[in-house]
Amino acid sequence: MTSSLRIAPSLLSANFARLGEEVEAVIDAGADLIHFDVMDNHYVPNLTVGPLVCEAIRPHSRVPIDVHLMVRPVDALVPMFAQAGAGLISFHPEASEHVHRTIQLIRSHGCKPGLVLNPATPLSVLDHVLDDLDLVLVMSVNPGFGGQAFIESALPKIEAIRRRIDATGRDIWLEVDGGVKPGNAARIAAAGADTLVAGSAVFGAGPGQYRQAIDAVRQAALQGRASRGTSTVRQTEEVTA
């Protein structure tokens, strides 16, 4: 498992009237990635932003832009976001006709590919593509809206994916998105996540408080990481093995 632990503020919760400034502010406050949620009001019931906005914020970001495509179909948007400055592009298997082809398409455009698992998406979608991925994103809410409550059943799912990733011997990031906050970041990291998306927990703190908010999530996650291997995790492994 990689020793890095990344915090990725989600722009879905930012002030869109001053988006460039918001990006700079959270990076100055310690953000490791910028999480960029793309919703199409088709695959998910909301409409957000497209490649032009990604291109507009790119000059304001000195960290990778982590693009999460909640759209159907996927492939036509991949080259657009790659050209707009995305560093990582993740998509939902339910939104692609050919999952492996979409993964190849993302990599061919110079971006790191990720696959997103909704709360009800089975782990079997990883069976034949995990070695081709750089990122697995576990949704701990149903996609479409920010500010939702964390779904507790995501924890054993994260643990199971962590075991699969470790078995590959590759540095595949395990990201969690949805309801992440200091109160649950320890358990999320203890389950094996190394990249935490936080929207309301960061931007909801208000301007001038972003560093404290990011530090709170990070410190809780680091404490959780230190507790990995406890009996609680071992018991879950026995149940899910």
Q: How many whole angstroms from its chain centre is CA 193?
A: 10
- At residue 174, the 3 state secondary structure works out as strand
Q: Which residue out of 37, 40, 66, 194 is catalytically annotated?
A: 37
Q: Is 199 annotated as a binding residue?
A: yes
Q: How far is CA 145 from CA 15, 40, 140, 167, 190, in A?
A: 15, 12, 12, 33, 26
- At residue 44, the 3 state secondary structure works out as coil
Q: Is 109 annotated as a binding residue?
A: no
Catalytic annotation on 32?
no
Q: Which residue out of 40, 134, 177, 194 is catalytically annotated?
A: 177
Q: Is 200 annotated as a binding residue?
A: yes
Q: Is 50 annotated as a binding residue?
A: no
Q: Is 110 annotated as a binding residue?
A: no
Q: Is 87 annotated as a binding residue?
A: no
Q: Is 40 annotated as a binding residue?
A: no
Q: Is 177 annotated as a binding residue?
A: yes
Catalytic annotation on 134?
no
CA 62 to CA 32: how far, in whole Å? Answer: 9
**Residue 144 burial class via C-beta count within 10 angstroms: exposed 0-12, middle 13-18, buried 19 and up:** middle
CA dihedral angle for residue 81, residue 18, residue 206, residue 89, rounded to 10 degrees: 0
Q: Is 146 annotated as a binding residue?
A: yes
**Residue 229 burial class via C-beta count within 10 angstroms: exposed 0-12, middle 13-18, buried 19 and up:** exposed
Q: Is 35 annotated as a binding residue?
A: yes
Annotated binding site: 10, 35, 37, 68, 144-147, 177-179, 199-200
Return the active site residues: 37, 177
Annotated binding site for a divalent metal cation: 35, 37, 68, 177
Annotated binding site for substrate: 10, 68, 144-147, 177-179, 199-200
